[in-house]
Structure 1
Amino acid sequence: MQPPTALNTALAAGDTAAVIAETLAMDGATTVLDVGCGHGGLAKALTARGFQITGVDPGEAAIDAARAAAPEADFAVAPGEKLPFADRSFDAAVFLNSLHHVPEARMPDALGEAARVTRARGTVLVIEPLAEGPFFEGVRPIDDETAIRNAANRAVADAVRSGRFALRGNVVFERKERFADVDTFISRVVSVDPARAASIEARRGEVERLFETNATRQDGARILVQPLRIYWLRVPA
């Protein structure tokens, strides 16, 4: 992948939504499925850029939050491995930090479903956090996702090798997140998975120490960097 200027700028800034938007725009995508949409952050960002977004998530509470965040988008409660849409319904599908939340045995099904509902020669983007970096190290004692993140990357590689997708490129870039203090970091981590709260409470001292060790200071805030890999996939004709 040799990105044009706008995409290069987004990659350098670590602006994940802009990276996704610029890549989709390069491919002429308009209708986009957000697989594992969570609370609707990406849907909100993409609808603001003019994309027609449909989001799915298996959690009803997440979908309620997504509808509030992005009222212009459409949403449905559904798992990524069983999408309630007809074949070739979308120009593109996106997994943003969501494939590794699918049970490992079902990851091939989720990728297959994304290929099914995306038009021929359409785009599937998979953005996955790597099991490394300051943000990862801060979260690791709470929820060590090393194995499942690596499994998600293997699932993408297997899908390409099998011919389910053509790999147009993959790039690693760094997302920088700002936190006022350790409490805002903890709130962010728990928002992804509320089950983490008990582990944080039990290991609060270690969480605080690792936050201070891994964060850098900038303008009164703490910065944690998370490397992400974006896979730019094409559905065969």
Structure 2
Amino acid sequence: MNTPLITDELDLLQSLVDLNQHPQIIELGCGAAHLSRQLLARWPRCEVTGLEVDERQHAKNLLNPQQRLQFVQAGAQAIPFEAQGFDLALMLKSLHHVPLDQLRQALAEVHRVLRPEGLLYISEPVFSGALNEVIRLFHDEEQVRAAALRAVREAVASGAWEQVTETFFDMPVHYRDFAEFEQRMIGVTFVDHRLDAPTLQAVRERFESHMTADGAHFARPMRVTLLRKC
């Protein structure tokens, strides 16, 4: 069976979750909150609280306010809100960034702040594909992604969560050139990538093997797990 190509993950989210029935949303590890901003534009009843642990990204977020969107500097492993305040939690490529020894605590915290039968939408990159082979030269996430998946499986097995769906899809990714790849993937603020000259050259060569007349095109394999609080 062919894996579907999805260009806008918000389309997938709305196909899985009735957002009108889940208006109070918390996004853990929100980054620049691109999806949440788009969500608020489409669903005027929704409100989003975005948690971001990276100080620099949080400061940028505060400079770009939006109605019904508040930002808080905090991590998923210590959510500074009372219990049962949210209908839906989003973790978009962020669960594997939680420290390994705090994954169980993070999922317990999300469980705590969700209302009964609240939903947790976890979107994680699968450790495979051509883009992954480029990135792993300087940032190998095989172990942390496996640990994140294992933590989800263990949380479901514990009885705290029910798995509603598991969905696989490919997300198209495009870079105009290596300079854009370097800026977006190596120059991120939440991790300090300091590449020596041989490593940078190896990354450049592997990336440029995918270059075409209009840049480099990749399909990033993704897994979405939708959990319901028991």
TM-score by length of structure 2 reads: 0.90
1:176-222: per-residue Cα shift (whole Å, max 9, x none)? 111100110111112264411x1265522111111123x364x7132
Preserved contact between residue 47 and residue 70 of structure 1 (Cα < 8 Å): no
Q: Which has the larger share of helix?
A: 1
- Shift of residue 166, structure 1, vs aligned partner: 0.1
Preserved contact between residue 84 and residue 115 of structure 2 (Cα < 8 Å): yes
Aligned to 1:229: 223
- Shift of residue 233, structure 1, vs aligned partner: 0.4
Whole-Å separation in 1 of the counterparts to 2:162 and 2:82 = 22
Whole-Å separation in 1 of the counterparts to 2:201 and 2:155 = 41
Aligned to 2:175: 179
Aligned to 2:159: 163
- Shift of residue 69, structure 1, vs aligned partner: 4.1
- Shift of residue 17, structure 1, vs aligned partner: 3.0
Q: How many matched pairs?
A: 223
Whole-Å separation in 2 of the counterparts to 1:22 and 1:174 = 16
Whole-Å separation in 1 of the counterparts to 2:47 and 2:148 = 27
1:156-193: per-residue Cα shift (whole Å, max 9, x none)? 00000001110011011111111100110111112264
Alignment partner of 2:91 out of 89, 95, 109: 95
Aligned to 2:52: 57
Alignment partner of 1:143 out of 139, 144, 160: 139
Preserved contact between residue 170 and residue 231 of structure 1 (Cα < 8 Å): yes
Whole-Å separation in 2 of the counterparts to 1:70 and 1:64 = 11
Whole-Å separation in 2 of the counterparts to 1:66 and 1:59 = 11
Matched, 1:32 2:25: yes
- Taking a change above 3 Å as real, the CA distance of residues 85 and 201 of structure 1, as seen in their structure-2 partners, is farther
- Taking a change above 3 Å as real, the CA distance of residues 200 and 163 of structure 1, as seen in their structure-2 partners, is farther
- Any gaps of 5 or more consecutive residues in structure 2? none
TM-score by length of structure 1 reads: 0.87
Aligned to 1:191: 188
Preserved contact between residue 27 and residue 49 of structure 2 (Cα < 8 Å): yes
1:53 aligned counterpart, secondary structure? strand
Alignment partner of 1:130 out of 126, 131, 148: 126
Preserved contact between residue 179 and residue 221 of structure 1 (Cα < 8 Å): yes
Alignment partner of 1:13 out of 6, 16, 27: 6
Matched, 1:45 2:38: yes
Whole-Å separation in 1 of the counterparts to 2:41 and 2:196 = 35
Matched, 1:66 2:73: no
- Shift of residue 24, structure 1, vs aligned partner: 2.9
1:136-175: per-residue Cα shift (whole Å, max 9, x none)? 1110011100000110000000000001110011011111
Preserved contact between residue 54 and residue 190 of structure 2 (Cα < 8 Å): no
Query: How much identity, in percent, do the aligned residues show?
Result: 27
Aligned partner letter, 1:57? E
**In angstroms, what is the RMSD of aligned CA positions?**
1.9
